[in-house]
Chain A
Amino acid sequence: MSNAPFDMIISGGRVIDPALGFGKDAHVLIKDGRIAGIENDIQKLGDSTGATVIDASGMLVVPGLIDVHVHLREPGREDEETVESGCRAAAAGGFTAVCCMPNTTPRIDNQETVLFVQDRAKNADARVYVVGAITKGSEGKELSEIGDLVKVGAVAITDDGRWVENSEIMRRAMEYSKMFNIPVMDHAEESTLCAGGIMNESFESTRLGLRGRPAVAEEIAVMRDIALCRTTGARLHIQHLSTRRAVDVVRAAKAEGIRVTTEACPHHFVLTDEAIAKEFNTCLRVNPPLRTANDREAIIEGLIDGTIDCIASDHAPHAEEEKDCEFDLAPAGMIGLETTLGLVKTYLIDKGYLTWADAIAKMTINPARVFGLPGGTLKTGSPADITIIDPDAPWTVDKKRFRSMSHNSPFIGWKLQGQVFRTILGGRVVFAREE
């Protein structure tokens, strides 16, 4: 190990890499933008002249976090988010990679748009993996040129925002996707049951007189798509799981050996539909909607037993003026890149539901495996994408500190634990906490 002029040494932190089953104090060495090794003994480091040393004592050093469900709004709504600003927000939230959804204007249903987004992401603060549309314009009628999309780097397909209502088309999408071994991501909400729905259907929608989106709509969609997955042998990734029954259906499918993976969003394991009645906060309008306490518990159970593989933010930026209106006129979605880690720490780890290693796995190696992405581990030779977390540092979610261009978060003012200390992308520090 002598004559090893490392670029960077992250020293003294507790290194957690679920992919390697690693979890102890160690030093992480970086060279040429890649992980050069993890060393227990500082004496063995050899010559570290010229290396940048980051003192991570008391911190957690983990693989760069990956968020597989992010809306970057470019092209089309650059007033809400751009690839650049979204990646800045990602870095601030500890994410070194994001998968961006295709419901932009125009939709990402062709090669040119994939290439455009990739070009925008070239010098960004996070890696951007593009997800293409299942159908042209996400209209649910004709398949996109999926082969073309994959050829230029699309890592998955989804019509996120909409369910592919036509079963025959969904079946074809699954069959076709097998040629490229990519997952079909599924926004699972049976549309006729949800038509005109504003929030979860429950006593909360009853007391507010708002039209509901029933939990059974998710259950039906998940059941159909798992049935198609069973038939086709494709890979299905169900997005933003939100109901108890849907979790049950996935659990059974996994037990049967069906190739289905899932994600859950922080707002679905932190909030319930009861929050809406308090102040009609339009930031609480999301799809799928905030559910009941019973559903919220089921999501946590699914995270604990592995039915839910990934934690994803469904970061959905909206302009201030679009959310500043009557509740039922507001667009659905909330931002999440910068609050996910704090919510995971405060509401999953501190409550004793998940260990750090379990939670980190759901934001690193699991997403990397599902979507075939590089990274997600600190294995020697991997890209030096690293997140350093100050695990017990308290902070208050502050609108002024968001790097996202949009501020539609219901968590503004919340006190959370667990701060990002540094985010490192390919050996470059892309976020450093302001001291």
Chain B
Amino acid sequence: MSKLASRHLLGLEGVSADDISLILDTTHTFREVLDRPIKKLPTLRGLTVLNLFYEPSTRTRISFELAEKRLSADTVSFTTATSSVKKGESLRDTVQNIEAMKIDMIVVRHSSAGTPYYLTQCSDANVINAGDGSHEHPTQALLDMYTIRKKYGKLAGLRVVLVGDVKHSRVIRSNIWGLKALGASVALCGPSTLLPAEVERYGCDIYTSLDEALDGADVVNIMRLQLERQQAGLFPSQREYTNLFGITRERLKRLNKNYTIMHPGPMNRGVEISSEVADGDSSVILDQVTNGQAVRMAVLYLLSGPEAEGPQA
């Protein structure tokens, strides 16, 4: 089996095109497994995966747990709504305690950027980032990339627009690194208060006009609007955001033919995306969810070490 350069998946920044392609190729094999009547493989038998969710995320957690179960891993989940562990037991103590019960892999979601990296310092397990603050969410980006590649057969040369809160979106950050590594052209679009400092240094096209951003694009990946950003004064009202950045059917005219609509969910229908667009023929939003499971199976498999058996077994 080919191996990844790192035994952890902490983000997509710095991950090579070869490694990303290996993950996407492996995803393809697992994606086929999901269409079989019996979706279970012995791949991770005997390995134990800890799902450490310090921030509530039902979808990502279920996707990982199902991926682990389909690969026959033993799983244990630690979920807490409190994003801050400042009071009480430290994260290191929590992890070392659980690890003393012999854990092989950790899937972590946390509101603090860098927590997955920190865990590699506390633990010997393979660490998978399931979202750390506004930093990265690599498996989400990989599933987005897989979904695009499945439809077009490639990523290179496609024009992908990421719309929304660029400043706080870990999904956008991971998408930028991954898409650029595989040769897609990336455009970012959002209100200027939600574009972070020196954003142009990503080397993407930057837009504050949605119509201009959509011109000649193949893929539009629409991010969920966090309404608490309005309270923080980053935009005046939800109504104005929808007027300026909401994706409606009329706006899609500017896209290339055979365009694709994506959203990592959960959607605010009628806010960042109209129902018509979300449920339209070009929407692959539910495929993303299915593909997400295959991507997570692939990542778990590739990081699990040489003992694991491949999907063909």
Q: Tell me the number of A-to-B contacts counted with CB atoms below 8 Å.
A: 70
Say yes or no for B159: interface residue by CB 8 A criterion: no
The reply on B306 being an interface residue by CB < 8 A is no
Chain A residues within 8 Å of B86, by CB: 325, 329
Q: Which of A170-178, A199-207, A415-423 contacts B (4 or more CB under 8 A)?
A: A199-207
Name the residue of chain B whose CB is nearest to the CB of A324: B92
Chain A residue numbers with a CB within 8 Å of B28 are none
Contact partners of A279 in chain B: CB under 8 A: 117
Kindly provide the distance from the CB of A406 to the nearest chain B CB, expressed in whole angstroms: 17
Docked-complex contact B135 and A209, CB < 8 angstroms: yes
A-side contacts of B135, CB under 8 Å? 208-210
Q: Across the interface, do A327 and B197 meet the contact criterion of CB distance under 8 Å? A: no
CB distance from B198 to the nearest CB of A (A): 4
Are B84 and A209 interface neighbours, CB within 8 A?
Answer: no
Does B29 interact with chain A (Cβ within 8 Å)?
no
A203–B201 CB distance below 8 A: yes
A230 vs B263: C-alpha distance when bound (angstroms) = 56
For residue B110, give the distance in angstroms from its CB to the closest CB of chain A. 7
Per-residue CB contact flags for chain A residues 187-213 toward chain B (1 = under 8 Å, else 0) read 000000000000001110111111010
Count of residues in A whose CB is under 8 Å from the partner chain = 20
Say yes or no: is A326 at the interface (Cβ < 8 Å to chain B). Answer: yes
> A367 at the A/B interface (Cβ < 8 Å)?
no
Question: Per-residue 0/1 for A227-264: is the Cβ within 8 Å of any B Cβ (1 yes, 0 no)?
Answer: 00000000000000000000000000000000000000
A214 within 8 A of B: yes
Q: Chain B: which residue is nearest A327 at the CB level?
A: B114
Residue A280 at the chain B interface, CB threshold 8 Å: yes
Bound CA span A207–B134, Å: 9
- The residues of B that contact A358 with a CB separation of less than 8 Å are none
The residue of chain A having its C-beta at the shortest distance from the C-beta of B116 within the complex is: A280
Q: Is the CB of A206 within 8 A of B197?
A: yes
Query: Are B196 and A329 neighbours in the complex by a CB distance under 8 Å?
Result: no
Known: A210-B113, A327-B113. A202 touches B197 (CB 8 A): yes
Interface string of A320-332 (1 = CB under 8 A from B): 0100111111000
Contact among B91, B115, B197 with A205 in the assembled complex (CB-CB below 8 Å)? B197
Question: Could you say which residues of chain B place their CB within 8 Å of the CB of A205?
Answer: 196-197
Contact of A328 with B13 in the complex, beta carbons under 8 Å: no
Measured CB to CB, the closest approach of chain A to B160, in angstroms, equals 19
B197 touches A280 (CB 8 A): no
Answer whether A327 and B118 are a contact pair too, CB < 8 Å, given A207-B13, A210-B133, A321-B90. yes
B170 adjacent to A327 (CB under 8 Å): no
Q: Are B168 and A209 in contact (CB under 8 A)?
A: yes
**Contact A214-B197, Cβ < 8 Å, known A209-B134, A327-B112:** yes
Instruction: State the B residues within 8 Å of A (CB).
Output: 13, 84-86, 90-92, 110, 112-115, 117-118, 132-136, 167-168, 170, 173, 196-199, 201-202
7 shortest A-B CB distances, which residue pairs? A209-B134, A280-B114, A326-B112, A203-B198, A206-B196, A209-B135, A203-B201
Additional A-B contact list (20), CB under 8 Å, known A202-B198, A206-B167: A202-B197, A203-B199, A203-B201, A205-B196, A206-B198, A206-B199, A209-B134, A209-B136, A209-B168, A210-B133, A212-B196, A214-B197, A280-B118, A325-B86, A326-B91, A326-B110, A326-B115, A327-B113, A327-B114, A329-B86
Question: 30 A–B contact pairs at CB < 8 A?
Answer: A202-B198, A203-B199, A203-B201, A205-B197, A206-B167, A206-B196, A206-B197, A206-B201, A207-B13, A207-B173, A209-B135, A209-B136, A209-B173, A210-B134, A214-B197, A280-B114, A280-B117, A280-B118, A321-B90, A324-B90, A325-B86, A325-B92, A326-B91, A326-B114, A326-B115, A326-B118, A327-B114, A327-B118, A328-B114, A329-B112
